[in-house]
Amino acid sequence: MPVFSASASPINGNINGLPDKCMCVDGVCRDPSHKHYAESQKNYQEQLTQRQLAQKRKRRLSLTTEISSVRLMPTTTCSLYSGSKFIGKQTSGSHSYEVAVHIQHVDLSESFLCGYLHIKGLTEDYPDLTTFFEAEIIGRKYSFLTKKWDADDKIDVQHWTKFSAFRPLHKHVKRDGFVYDFNNKDFIFMRWKEHFLVPDHRVRTINGASFAGFYYICYQLSTGIITGFYFHKSSERFQELQLHHCADRSFPSFEFR
């Protein structure tokens, strides 16, 4: 029977001379001389791998959720988009004038659009008159009540009720907190305010015409038709604007939200 030397004698029954129980803190062995070192390192790597996989699954799930909730909000609504063109006429009494509108920019999220309004034959000095206008789209940001441009609540009601699409909304207009949500509606209501003459923005007055007022506008998505009524305190009341969309081959643009 062999005799073990003192240096090779087992400790606590371990023939390798290493302690059975790892005495390192936090449950992780950091001493390569311990027999548990390799095992603890293997366990640590397995745990790290599992955490990494769990994080990847969480990121994939989060990404899927975020993409599924993204709204592809078009900067267009049917024929109402940047670059679209409308043509038609404006009538004032027995007179009728050719009108073309070129939309330059549409931002439905900000209830805004702008463009150029061209009218022919309105005055002898300006047989072709072009103005730049900006629109307030009735909705979250702008109400049916104008509160400016010499238009009081009575003037607003008189003009808005010219649109049959507005009449069911009439009783709600003065109600506190009422907001017209144009999303998923066939009708969009706006005010178009002309600001200056193009190309000479310094011209403020025109003999026989005025751009000091604004238009009450109703746009129907399903038909692409714009109807409007011009208001200025010194102008003939209810001058009517009738426009229809000119189809083109351009594509509307989209933005991620």
With tokens 């366990």, the residue in question is: 43
Burial of 218 (0-12, 13-18, 19+ CB in 10 A): buried
pTM > 0.75: yes or no: no
Handedness of CA 41, 45, 51, 52 (dihedral sign): positive
- CA 74 to chain CA centroid, Å, is 8
| Beta-bridge partner residues of 107 | 112
Distance of alpha carbon 97 from alpha carbon 89, whole angstroms: 5
What tokens does 80 get? Answer: 């109402």
Half-sphere exposure of 20 (CA within 13 A, CB side): 6
What's the one-letter identity of residue 221? L
Phi, psi angles (nearest 5°) of residue 157: -65, -40
Closest CA to 196 of 132, 149, 135, 128: 132
Per-block mean pLDDT, blocks of 10 residues, the chain (257 long) = 42 47 55 64 72 64 40 56 95 92 94 95 85 94 94 95 93 83 92 89 72 93 95 89 84 46
Contact 123, 208 (CB under 8 A): yes
Q: How many residues does the chain have?
A: 257
pLDDT of residue 197: 86
Pairing of strands 128-137, 112-120: antiparallel
Domain ranges of the chain: 26-68, 84-246
Distance of alpha carbon 230 from alpha carbon 235, whole angstroms: 9
Contact 110, 187 (CB under 8 A): no
Phi, psi angles (nearest 5°) of residue 39: -65, -40
